[in-house]
Amino acid sequence: MKQILGVVVSLIIFAGCNTLTLAPGDFSWPVESVLKVNSKGIVQDQRYSFSLDVKKLLFAETQDSVDVAKWSLRMIRDTKGYYYITAAKFKNVYVFEQTEAGLKLSKVIFLSAAGIDAPEFNQRPPFIQLLNGNEPPLMLSKDGIQEGGKK
Is the residue at 6 inside a domain?
A: no
Planar angle of CA 19, 21, 27, nearest 5 degrees: 140
Would you say residue 7 has pLDDT above 70? no
Is the residue at 77 inside a domain?
A: yes
* pLDDT level of residue 105 (50, 70, 90 thresholds): very high
Is the residue at 20 inside a domain?
A: no
Q: Which residues on neighbouring strands pair with residue 127, listed in sequence order?
A: 124
Is the residue at 83 inside a domain?
A: yes
Is the residue at 69 inside a domain?
A: yes
Q: Report the pLDDT averaged over residues 120-140.
A: 95
SS (H, E, C) 53-86: ECHHHHHHHHCCCCCCCCCEEEEEECCCCCEEEE
Q: Which residues on neighbouring strands pair with residue 141, listed in sequence order?
A: 144
| Tens-digit pLDDT profile for residues 42-84 | 999 988 888 999 999 999 999 987 889 999 999 999 999 999 9
Q: Residue 110: which domain range?
A: 26-145
Task: Measure the N-to-C terminal CA separation of the chain; round to a whole number of Å.
Answer: 65
Please tell me which residue, 6 or 124, carries the higher pLDDT value: 124
